[in-house]
Amino acid sequence: MRVDQTDHDGSSRHFDERATTWDSDPAKVARALAVAQEIRSRVPLNGQMQGLEYGCGTGLLGFALQPYFGQITLADSSPGMLATLNDKIAASRSNNLRSMKLDLVTDPLPAERYDLVCSLMTFHHIDDISGLLRDLFSLMNSPGYLCVADLDAEDGSFHGPGFTGHPGFDRSVLEHEAHGAGFRNIEFSTVFQIAKPDSRGQTDFPVFLMVARK
């Protein structure tokens, strides 16, 4: 069972400050590897695909998927996360990873189009999920795959008081929003459990993977 002890307000500064130690949490590494494995099992990757990871942080998911793609663009809004990510890309032997500063809440859509867009634990930080899904749909080639991993609906105790994002997602509501953005063949699986210590001892927060087709 994995333990994630990151309580916070969800601000960009929070992520800037934690970027250099992000990868030292084994639970975050295991979470990304579990999601990468599930994506590989559910999507026919062909080694030529252009991928985008949105809200990549230090790129844990993108690095795990990189051998199975032609190129992956790793995008995030946090300058601190991007600085750590750029150090990791420079230190790696990968020539198919690149970083991009991107906040789809405020920035225009980039010109590139992608065969697969993935995102891990980022949707719950973004207010307008329908708008985000429409943007991601626009960024994708057809046929294309959207792979979103995030928390199932919870009681707010994952982040604790002061957090202004989503307390996880009801799968049927997210499916409805994805359908409204144009996606089809929308399917969910449970891919990981994040364990948090609390007054009851420990609470497990399930993480889903939604795979949808354009």
Comparison of 32 and 133: residue with beta carbon closer to ligand SAM: 32
Contact pick of 51, 57, 144, 168 for ligand SAM (by CB under 6 A): 57
Comparison of 108 and 201: residue with beta carbon closer to ligand SAM: 108
Three-state SS for 150? strand
**Which residues, listed in sequence order, are joined to residue 146 by a DSSP beta bridge?**
117, 212
Neighbours of 5 (CB within 10 A): 9
Query: To the nearest whole angstrom, how small is the minimum distance from the Cβ of residue 60 to ligand SAM?
Result: 5
- Segment 60 to 99, residues that bind ligand SAM, using CB under 6 A: 60-61, 76-78, 81
Site mask, ligand SAM, residues 165-184, x = CB under 6 A?
Answer: --------------------
Q: Which stretch binds ligand SAM (CB under 6 A): 44-52, 102-110, 138-146, 169-177?
A: 102-110
Under 8 Å between Cβ of 83 and 17: no
**Which residues, listed in sequence order, are joined to residue 188 by a DSSP beta bridge?**
210
ω into 143 cis (within 30 of 0)? yes
- Segment 109 to 168, residues that bind ligand SAM, using CB under 6 A: 120-122, 125-126
Distance CA 203, CA 47 (A): 38
Q: Which of 26, 18, 21 is nearest to 192 (CA)?
A: 26
Three-state SS for 84? helix
For ligand SAM, the nearest residue by Cβ is 57
Please report, as ranges, the residues that interact with ligand SAM according to CB under 6 A. 15, 28, 32, 55-57, 60-61, 76-78, 81, 103-105, 120-122, 125-126
